[in-house]
Amino acid sequence: MKAITGAVAAVVALPVAIIGLVLMSAGADATGDEAGGAGMIDGLNVSAMPPEGRKWAPWYQKSAAQCPGRLSPAVLAAQGYQESGFRPDAVGPPTDYGTAKGISQFIDSTWETQGKGRYEDMDRDGDNTAFDPEDAIMAQGRYMCAMVKRAETSGYKDTPIRLSLAGYNAGWGWVDYYKAVPPERFAKGQTYHYVRIITANAAKWASAVSSISGLGTGSGADAVRRGAKQIGIPYSWGGGNPGGPSNGFCDGRNGYLNGRCVAATTAGFDCSSLTQYAWWSSVKLPRVAAAQYAATASRRIDRDDLKPGDLLFWSKSGPAAIYHVGIYAGEGRVLHAPRTGRKVELQPIAEAMPSRDYIGATRPGA
């Protein structure tokens, strides 16, 4: 595990946790092992996790429960994997700040305030050190929860989770300095890629239950929460309205599955009726995707500035030919109704539709 050292480090206070012992390369987002059939716990698809981390899944769930509505177990698990590769005996190299230890890579001074110094032996095994994985995971969640609450009141762009991960890694002073996640040029990209990799893995490991965790407040977060209640509802071409799912129709091209018109007998949503439904209580969006883009295009949002509730659009030939819309759900995920034969679901943005067709995002409301 490496510290942020040198001239950059001198500007800020001690990082709450320093870059993980297993800091993977920029392109090394982890994928789950398909073996094992470990199933799900609340908010975490255990089967999607690397096998070496699955036994800690109940503790990541328990740790996230210390911060209801703000932290998901998938984020904590992905952070633990990035910090140590789920190794309880991991030890980082000595730094000016101390030596990081254990599955969550705490340095001694931080452990004294977040672990041993303030809390009892959480797993009642007689051991309360940074090398005790159960205690360390619980301390990790407490520390992240405090960071998320701080991020929520900061007014900085980006989601509370991303800001908190950056603060955990580099020190909150650098988040204050940039008023955002530090850019890739900072510390040779260490914090930037730490946040990117963790959020990508968290999106892959999250179950539907975690869809409303860590969103913060506001009309956009409310839209995601409302839309997430429809996860698992079938896609139905032409179906859905502000009141909920309804039967759709077939138009000669859409609504068919294996040559059979299924939309007419399927109560569900298509992509734009889901976004309309999700936003309806605060913004009356038009019915179809192209019209939704036109109605909100005055507030176009850069991908680096996405917030929960923003609308994401895909097209093969510009705004007039938009074929898909979804709702940004935080942590690199989109909540959407993909196509006939699928259901309303959460996916990493990169997996939702062809990346070359992504034409941008907008933010409904004033």
In the chain, where are the structural domains located?
9-212, 219-362
Which pLDDT score, from 0 to 100, does residue 143 have? Answer: 94
**Class for domain 9-212, per CATH?**
mainly alpha
Measured distance CA(200)–CA(195) in Å, rounded: 9
Measured distance CA(171)–CA(165) in Å, rounded: 9
CATH 3.90.1720.10 for domain 219-362, yes or no, is yes
Q: Which two tokens stand for residue 53?
A: 């981390």
Which pLDDT score, from 0 to 100, does residue 7 have? Answer: 33
Q: Which residues pair with 269 in a beta bridge?
A: 235
Which pLDDT score, from 0 to 100, does residue 124 have? Answer: 58
Measured distance CA(293)–CA(186) in Å, rounded: 35
Which pLDDT score, from 0 to 100, does residue 125 have? Answer: 59
Domains 9-212 and 219-362 are alike in CATH topology = no
Q: Which two tokens stand for residue 18?
A: 């320093």
Ranges in the chain, pLDDT < 70 = 1-42, 69, 116-127, 207-214, 366
